Chain A
Amino acid sequence: AQKVTQAQTEISVVEKEDVTLDCVYETRDTTYYLFWYKQPPSGELVFLIRRNSFDEQNEISGRYSWNFQKSTSSFNFTITASQVVDSAVYFCALSETFIIQGAQKLVFGQGTRLTINP
């Protein structure tokens, strides 16, 4: 069965430090998608990135970067020069597509609460 593990329950750093959030996943499928979502204190889920299993290129978006490594089944997220506004809960998620059923389900990790202190 598919599973996503975010071993870091809480992380606290001082502003401007770099921080990496770990995500390890398990799946038997060869075709899958990985996601990161941000949940700020207001509670909504904010989509950050989607990667498919065939694209292992790392991605950078401003201060955010993602390192996808199939060999270790990891999809880690790094925030460079962190800011107080980055404080949130971050979720990693895996989507498999059950072609026969036509269903797609997101399997979420437990989340990592990131606190950026001024």
Chain B
Amino acid sequence: EAQVTQNPRYLITVTGKKLTVTCSQNMNHEYMSWYRQDPGLGLRQIYYSMNVEVTDKGDVPEGYKVSRKEKRNFPLILESPSPNQTSLYFCASSPLPWQRNSYEQYFGPGTRLTVT
């Protein structure tokens, strides 16, 4: 089954304790990205990656890091989480548009993070 998986689904942590949220897709997609969802703001892009070792900032990258060492994985790293990073996080993947003429992004199930 084609899917995007995220782990963990729920996480409660304390300020300053480094954490990683994993994202994996089995569709051989080149493009992957991370979004955060906050009430009244919709979803906003944090980082994206066009392929292995190619990453770039989205609209709200402060406080986050990413890496793309394998095509299928795109972990989101919070080196020193703060309470304002409490949010619902979504990973998404898609093929590059000119390769398959597809603009649909496939979303993971979401990770609800609480930083106290």
Q: Which residues of A contact B (CB under 8 A)?
A: 4, 6, 9, 33, 35, 37, 43-45, 47, 50, 52, 91, 93, 95, 97, 99, 101-106, 108-111
8 pairs, A vs B, C-beta closer than 8 Å: A43-B88, A47-B104, A95-B105, A103-B31, A104-B97, A104-B103, A108-B44, A109-B42
Given A50-B103, A95-B103, A106:B109 Cβ within 8 A = no
The smallest C-beta distance from B79 to any residue of chain A, in angstroms, reads 24
CA distance A103 to B105 in the complex (A): 12
Taking a contact as CB atoms under 8 Å apart, the answer to whether B107 and A44 are in contact is yes
Taking a contact as CB atoms under 8 Å apart, the answer to whether A102 and B96 are in contact is yes
B: number of interface residues (CB 8 Å): 28
Chain A contact surface mostly:
strand
Taking a contact as CB atoms under 8 Å apart, the answer to whether A43 and B97 are in contact is no
The smallest C-beta distance from A53 to any residue of chain B, in angstroms, reads 11
CA distance A110 to B38 in the complex (A): 9
Which residues of A have CB within 8 Å of B43? Answer: 91, 93, 106, 108
Which residues of A have CB within 8 Å of B94? Answer: 104
B110 in complex: contacting residue of A44, A47, A103, CB < 8 Å: A44
B41 at the interface (CB under 8 A from A): yes
